[in-house]
């Protein structure tokens, strides 16, 4: 959530940054803010006069003034009028505050000063590539879903019978590979200083609002019909909200968590795209990295987060590239973001496998996560960051394609062989 005071005091600068992200008009918000502050001023004046009247009546009563005297009756009458006015004023002010809150929740984060300018994904900036020597030199025989179905380890048809399309059942070696990848990623991240958590997989609306999925992306998530609970779209949501409405001590920072969760997404805006395979499913597994950091170290922590995600791809010897997203392609809550894209031979291009974002104080302001320093008065909002470390299904797809030989045999990445106890899938 953006700071209303910042919007009020630096309207032109904030509007210019929002214009880099799309069509957003601050004028309705500013008009409501003006109305609310005027009502607040009126309420404050009325309350002050009401308190003054109460003191005057008390003083006159103490010096023996008759309670039924016209003087006291006039004061009491004015006091009753003030109470009536306040009873009418306070609901109006409350309603306007609610409207302001709704508008603030619909505004995206402001892009970082370091975020490259651009209108869409075509203007994202490639930062680096890694592992081009590992790209298969021969023409790929089959895409990953055909490989998996031919081996009998991926089944989409029976999954549609159990649920619907865009689900998969992992069988035998694929199920073992999925578990091995989850364990491998978690172990690597724990060694890098992350503390593992297993959060709830069902989350409430307040949690989704805190990280920015609600209200804008309600149609992307699955909601339970009889409870205020949703299936988690990513571990970012429950892990970030573990600290909602808390004040941390600065020595606690940075807090770094890694978490495995299943993820559930409707993918409402992706019909017709990636309808085959493991790239865009309604249910998938993911290992997520989440950080709570001091604002002064935010940028450095962001770079190290990207490196931690890259480390998994490098250990698996999967070729990838790093893109920095431009202002027009940033996610709703992000101020700055790097995408890691793994090479998929069947598509002949790189595909996203991790998105590493710095939200600065956008999420912490929504979720009210603050910290205080021993030498300073008051509190500050922490900066939150997160990134996939990695999406398991997409990693499996990349292995099935990049580790497939010219005969269609799929080898297992060397680092996973001890976990699986074999060299060939």
Enzyme catalytic residues: 265, 280, 352, 355, 394
Spatial distance between the Cα atoms of 3 and 20, rounded to a whole number of angstroms: 18
Provide the token pair at 25: 């008009």
Query: What b/e string do you get for 237-259 counting C-beta neighbours within 10 Å, with b at 16 or more?
Result: bbbbbbbbeeebeeeebbbbbbb
E strand or H helix at 130, and its extent? strand 125-130
CA atoms within 13 A on the CB side of 272: 1
| DSSP-assigned beta bridge partners for residue 371 | 248, 380
Task: Confirm if 389 and 185 have CB atoms less than 8 A apart.
Answer: yes
Angle at 167 between CA 276 and CA 270, to 5 degrees: 55
Q: Within 13 Å and on the Cβ side, how many CA atoms surround 247?
A: 6
Tokens representing 309? Answer: 């995600």
DSSP per-residue codes, 22-47? S----HHHHHHHHHHHHHHHHHHHHH
Retrieve residue 372's tokens: 């205080």
Q: What is the dihedral of CA 185, 318, 112, 121, to 10 degrees?
A: -130
Alpha-carbon gap, residue 138 to 409, rounded angstroms: 13
Closest CA to 322 of 127, 184, 167, 149: 127
Q: How far apart are CA 350 and CA 136, in angstroms?
A: 14
Tokens linked to 67: 């309670």
């Amino acid at each position: 959530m953006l700071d209303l005071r910042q919007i009020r005091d630096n309207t032109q600068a904030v509007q210019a940054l929002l214009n880099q992200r799309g069509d957003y008009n601050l004028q309705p918000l500013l008009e409501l803010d003006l109305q609310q502050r005027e009502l607040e001023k009126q309420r404050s004046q009325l309350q002050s006069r009401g308190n003054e009247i109460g003191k005057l009546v008390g003083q006159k009563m103490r010096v023996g003034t008759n309670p039924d005297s016209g003087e006291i009756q006039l004061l009491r009458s004015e006091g009753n009028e003030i109470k009536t006015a306040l009873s009418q004023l306070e609901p109006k002010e409350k309603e306007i505050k609610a409207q302001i809150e709704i508008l603030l929740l619909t505004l995206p984060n402001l892009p970082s000063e370091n975020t490259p300018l651009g209108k869409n994904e075509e203007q994202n900036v490639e930062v680096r590539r890694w592992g081009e020597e590992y790209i298969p030199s021969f023409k790929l025989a089959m895409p990953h879903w055909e490989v998996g179905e031919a081996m009998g380890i991926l089944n989409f048809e029976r999954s549609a019978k159990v649920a619907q399309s865009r689900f998969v059942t992992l069988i035998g070696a694929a199920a073992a590979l999925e578990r091995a990848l989850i364990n491998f990623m978690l172990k690597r991240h724990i060694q890098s200083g992350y503390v593992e958590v297993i959060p709830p997989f069902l989350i409430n609306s307040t949690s989704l609002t805190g990280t920015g999925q609600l209200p804008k992306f309600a149609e992307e998530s699955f909601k339970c019909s009889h409870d205020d609970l949703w299936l988690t779209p990513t571990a970012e949501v429950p892990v970030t909200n573990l600290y909602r409405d808390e004040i941390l001590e600065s020595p606690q920072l940075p807090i770094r968590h890694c978490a495995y969760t299943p993820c559930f997404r409707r993918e409402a805006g992706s019909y017709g795209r990636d309808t085959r395979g493991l790239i865009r499913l309604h249910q998938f597994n993911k290992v997520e990295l989440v950080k709570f950091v001091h604002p002064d170290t935010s940028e450095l922590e962001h770079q190290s987060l990207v490196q931690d995600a890259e480390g998994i791809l490098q250990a698996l010897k999967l070729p990838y590239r790093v893109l920095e997203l431009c202002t027009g392609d940033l996610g709703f809550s992000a101020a700055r973001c790097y995408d890691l894209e793994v090479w998929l031979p069947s598509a002949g291009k790189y595909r996203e496998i991790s998105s590493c974002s710095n939200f600065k104080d956008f999420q912490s302001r929504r979720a009210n996560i603050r910290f205080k320093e021993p030498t300073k008065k008051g509190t500050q909002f922490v900066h939150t960051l997160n990134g996939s470390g990695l999406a398991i299904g997409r990693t499996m797809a990349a292995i099935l394609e990049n580790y497939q030989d010219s005969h269609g045999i799929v080898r297992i990445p060397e680092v996973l062989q001890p976990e699986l106890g074999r060299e060939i899938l």
